[in-house]
């Protein structure tokens, strides 16, 4: 049994999921610039809804980005603190993979490209290939918008993420499968369960943000 709290705040959404005693509980709300004030409050509420205590959990999973600098730093620091104080392991997941998991699970797509606005006219891109529901290969990178090239993608590619809006006219030339989703903690939880079973666990201090480029650039992009 995997009792896991999943925290995903890499976008404007404050998204939480909790698996406890074979039941799943969720909170998801668009809260721009309110994560700091609301995150711990909503975690407490979700635990109360499940009649659970933090020390009852096996691990805390965090969508570590890339995405909002403030959001991923907050999620990682909260995840570290709660895990350390309750002697829990942590699970580190790319928020780009969280986006892709949703499309793979919900629509059965096997070729998925996650695209997130990186600010400063740049995009975070994650390329994911699945065999049924199993991730086979992945690659993530940051690229200037003007350097994003379509010819590398096949017509059956699905595109997901708020960054798709920045290049939507290009994407429509090869695909009708374009989704402007934000990452959901329920999809993060699904990935985290797999990682827990495979013992892909970290100590709290190892739960670090995924930047894809240097912190100095992040600060300029805020």
Residue 14: which domain range? 4-94+183-221
The answer on 62 and 135 residing in a single domain is: no
pLDDT at 219: 38
pLDDT at 85: 98
Per-residue model confidence as pLDDT tens digits over 162-205: 999 999 999 999 999 999 999 999 999 999 999 999 999 999 99
Residue 206, token pair as written in the block: 């190892």
- pLDDT(56) > 60: yes
The answer on 150 and 40 residing in a single domain is: no
What residues are paired with 123 via a beta bridge?
A: 117, 143
Question: What percentage of the chain carries pLDDT values higher than 70?
Answer: 95
Stretch 2-29: mean pLDDT, rounded? Answer: 97
- pLDDT(133) > 90: no
pLDDT at 74: 97
Per-residue model confidence as pLDDT tens digits over 73-98: 999 999 999 999 999 999 999 999 99
Asked, as a colleague might, if the bond just before 66 is cis with ω within 30 of 0, I would say yes
The answer on 126 and 166 residing in a single domain is: yes
CA R_g for the chain? 17
Work out how many domains the chain is built from and give that number. 2
- For residue 72, give every residue at least 6 positions away whose Cβ sits within 8 Å of its Cβ, in sequence order, or none: 9, 10, 63, 64, 65, 66, 95, 209, 210
Q: What is the DSSP letter of 155?
A: T
- Torsion, Cα of 161, 97, 43, 221 (10° steps): -50
Global confidence as pTM = 0.94
- For residue 126, give every residue at least 6 positions away whose Cβ sits within 8 Å of its Cβ, in sequence order, or none: 94, 96, 97, 99, 100, 113, 114, 115, 138, 139, 140
The answer on 29 and 100 residing in a single domain is: no
pLDDT at 213: 66
- Torsion, Cα of 213, 91, 47, 22 (10° steps): 140
The domain that holds 70 is classified in CATH as: 3.30.420.40
For residue 173, what is the enclosing H or E element?
none
The answer on 63 and 123 residing in a single domain is: no
The answer on 170 and 139 residing in a single domain is: yes
For CA atoms 146, 148, 149, 154, the dihedral sign is negative
The answer on 47 and 63 residing in a single domain is: yes
8 Å CB contact between 16 and 32: no
The answer on 88 and 137 residing in a single domain is: no
The answer on 86 and 9 residing in a single domain is: yes
Q: Report the mean per-residue pLDDT for the chain.
A: 93
């Amino acid at each position: 049994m995997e009792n896991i709290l999943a925290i995903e705040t890499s976008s404007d959404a404050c998204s939480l999921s909790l698996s406890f005693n074979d039941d799943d509980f969720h909170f998801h709300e668009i809260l721009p610039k309110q994560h700091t004030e609301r995150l711990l409050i909503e975690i407490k509420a979700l635990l109360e809804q499940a009649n659970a205590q933090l020390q009852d959990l096996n691990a805390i999973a965090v969508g570590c980005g890339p995405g909002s600098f403030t959001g991923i730093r907050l999620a990682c620091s909260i995840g570290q603190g709660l895990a350390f104080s309750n002697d829990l392991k942590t699970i580190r997941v790319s928020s780009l993979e969280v986006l892709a998991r949703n499309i793979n699970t919900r629509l059965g797509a096997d070729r998925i490209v996650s695209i997130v606005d990186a600010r400063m006219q740049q995009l975070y891109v994650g390329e994911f290939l699945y065999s049924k529901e199993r991730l086979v290969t992945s690659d993530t990178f940051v690229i200037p918008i003007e350097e994003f090239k379509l010819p590398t993608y096949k017509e059956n590619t699905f595109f997901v993420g708020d960054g798709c809006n920045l290049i939507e006219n290009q994407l429509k030339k090869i695909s009708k499968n374009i989704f402007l989703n934000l990452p959901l903690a329920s999809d993060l939880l699904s990935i985290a369960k797999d990682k827990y079973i495979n013992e892909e666990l970290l100590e709290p201090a190892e739960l670090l943000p995924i930047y894809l480029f240097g912190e100095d650039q992040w600060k300029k992009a805020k």
